[in-house]
């Protein structure tokens, strides 16, 4: 393969310099080679770069066009530009020490005038990606299809009232599954951005949900048919762009999957900012998924508590991430999932260097959170507190309740004859918050 010119000139592979480093373009906490329990930090954290933000994001917003200009975007032929852009992307993945990347079909190859032409375009870029993956060792965390940008999907894809649109979306996902398999993708994500409704005046909610489930079953069947072994993931989000999205949060996602007999085939890709929009904490969504054995992967970003939309910022809130990490580690980790930076630069952050700085901050924050969470779990004080709080269910009538051996009658008898009034115990929230602060800043 011909060596492509360097695109991020003047920026080399980002070194690890440790917490006291004064170098902006250096990791302070993420040492990719650091070995912990027989695995490197790079292998533990499984970071991934989101192609759509890092290489298709321009800084545009509803009030104005893009501000971020990259030199490789200047060519006339969209396919050639797409290839050079991909070269730049893999240079970035390598320099930032990310083992994975993620994409939507339409991020990497231009949409054609027909589905056949779009597929041909995609094939060319998949062949290119395959070479780049081989040359760099960077792997595909997950693939997905963009079923929300093209006007044909304005009223949804799998939940569109028009069967023609459903068919088109099915054909698009069929191809996306094939190319994800071709690149060795370890997961496949469904984010249902327009799978919802604007008004019930024109919507048959039950029929739309039935159709969405049919679509998922077809995906499961087709994955089986082609031997795609990757994990299917649903990425919940309550709203935006649709006013009401069916995969509102993890809990409604679980209900949907169980209602339609899909629960064995799916896990969840939890995005921090989507949790915020649903009125939940990031950790809450992780715990709900973990409780159902359905924690799959993370879209790592942050929202803004003061704004009601998806700001997709890089997350440097170590407290939030440490709590999330505690829940992830307690659940046994992410398996085939990883931490995908579904995050974008702010509109005025126009320098190529800013792309590096943003990811350095995100990676450092997660690496630090990972280490802090491991310490918290190793010392076990928080876990022990929680275990003690529920210890009355470990023996005697408490255990009978858990084992299904107690009844209303047996418990009534117990209270009347033996137990009497319960003694209240403090929840000790302030003590626990102080303890957490000691771990974070001690």
Binding residue for ligand XUL (CB under 6 A) from 195, 208, 271, 285? Answer: 271
CA dist., res. 121 & res. 113, Å (int): 11
| Of the candidates 211, 205, 266, 208, the residue with the CA atom closest to the CA atom of residue 236 | 266
Our answer to whether residue 310 is catalytic in this structure is: no
Binding of residue 364 to Co ion (CB under 5 A): no
Report the site for Co ion in 262-281 (rule: CB under 5 A). Answer: 271
Our answer to whether residue 107 is catalytic in this structure is: yes
- Contact track, ligand XUL, 288-307, x by CB under 6 A: -----------x--------
Minimum Å gap between C-beta 396 and Co ion is: 47
Stretch that binds Co ion, among 18-26, 28-36, 225-233, 299-307 (CB under 5 A): 299-307
Binding of residue 299 to Co ion (CB under 5 A): yes
For 316-347, give the DSSP string. Answer: --HHHHHHHHHHHHHTT--TT--EEE-----T
Stretch that binds ligand XUL, among 161-169, 189-197, 331-339, 381-389 (CB under 6 A): 189-197
27 vs 314 by CB, closer to ligand XUL: 314
189 vs 325 by CB, closer to ligand XUL: 189
121 vs 269 by CB, closer to Co ion: 269
User: Pick from Co ion, ligand XUL, none: which does 97 bind, CB < 5 to 8 A by kind?
Assistant: none
Binding of residue 106 to ligand XUL (CB under 6 A): no
Identify the DSSP state of 135.
Answer: H
Stretch that binds ligand XUL, among 70-78, 109-117, 186-194, 360-368 (CB under 6 A): 186-194
Alpha helix (H) residue ranges in 261-403 = 272-277, 282-291, 318-330, 352-379, 381-389, 396-402
Which residues of 199-291 form beta strands (DSSP E)?
A: 231-234, 244-245, 266-271
189 vs 376 by CB, closer to ligand XUL: 189
Terminal-residue alpha carbon distance, the chain: 51
CA dist., res. 118 & res. 172, Å (int): 9
**125: Cα separation from own chain's centroid:** 24
Please say whether the dihedral angle defined by the alpha carbons of residues 125, 127, 132 and 133, taken in this order, is positive or negative: positive
Given the residues 7, 44, 104, 280, select the one marked as catalytic: 104
Q: Report the b/e string of 245-262 with b at 16+ CB within 10 A.
A: bbbbbbbebbebbeeeeb
Interacting residue ranges for ligand XUL, rule: CB under 6 A: 52, 104, 144, 189, 191, 193, 235, 237, 271, 299, 310, 342
Interacting residue ranges for Co ion, rule: CB under 5 A: 271, 299, 342
Query: Mind telling me the catalytic residues?
Result: 104, 107
């Amino acid at each position: 393969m011909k060596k492509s010119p360097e695109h991020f000139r003047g920026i080399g592979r980002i070194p690890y310099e440790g917490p006291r480093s004064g170098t902006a373009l250096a990791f302070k906490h993420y040492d990719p080679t650091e070995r912990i329990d027989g695995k490197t930090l790079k292998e533990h954290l499984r970071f991934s770069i989101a192609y759509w933000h890092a290489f298709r994001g321009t800084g545009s917003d509803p009030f104005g066009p893009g501000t971020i200009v990259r030199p490789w975007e200047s060519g006339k032929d969209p396919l050639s530009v797409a290839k050079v852009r991909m070269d730049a992307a893999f240079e970035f993945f390598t320099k930032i020490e990310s083992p994975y990347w993620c994409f939507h079909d339409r991020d990497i190859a231009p949409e054609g005038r027909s589905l056949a032409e779009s597929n041909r375009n995609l094939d060319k870029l998949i062949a290119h990606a395959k070479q780049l993956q081989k040359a760099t060792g960077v792997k595909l965390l997950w693939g997905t299809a963009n079923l929300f940008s093209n006007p044909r999907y304005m009223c949804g894809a799998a939940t569109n009232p028009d069967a023609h649109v459903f068919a088109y979306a099915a054909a698009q996902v069929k191809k996306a599954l094939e190319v994800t398999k071709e690149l060795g993708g370890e997961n496949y994500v469904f984010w249902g951005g327009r799978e919802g409704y604007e008004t019930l005046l024109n919507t048959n909610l039950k029929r739309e949900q039935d159709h969405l489930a049919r679509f998922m079953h077809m995906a499961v069947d087709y994955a089986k048919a082609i031997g795609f072994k990757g994990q299917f993931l649903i990425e919940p989000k309550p709203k935006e762009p649709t006013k009401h999205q069916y995969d509102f949060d993890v809990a409604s996602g679980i209900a949907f999957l169980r209602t339609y007999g899909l629960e064995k085939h799916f896990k969840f890709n939890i995005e921090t900012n989507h949790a915020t929009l649903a009125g939940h904490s990031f950790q809450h969504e992780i715990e709900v998924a973990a409780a159902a054995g359905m924690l799959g992967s993370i879209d790592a970003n942050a929202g803004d508590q003061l704004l009601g939309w998806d700001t997709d910022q890089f997350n440097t809130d170590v407290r939030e991430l440490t709590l999330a990490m505690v829940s992830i580690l307690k659940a046994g980790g992410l398996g085939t999932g990883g931490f995908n930076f579904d995050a974008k630069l702010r509109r005025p952050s126009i320098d190529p260097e800013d792309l590096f700085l943003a990811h350095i901050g995100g990676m450092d924050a997660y690496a630090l959170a990972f280490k802090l969470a491991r310490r918290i779990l190793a010392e076990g004080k928080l876990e022990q507190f929680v275990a003690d709080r529920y210890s009355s269910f470990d023996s005697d009538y408490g255990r009978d309740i858990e084992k299904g051996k107690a009844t209303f009658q047996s418990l009534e008898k117990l209270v009347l004859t033996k137990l009497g009034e319960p003694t209240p115990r403090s929840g000790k929230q302030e003590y626990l918050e102080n303890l957490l602060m000691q771990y974070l800043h001690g």
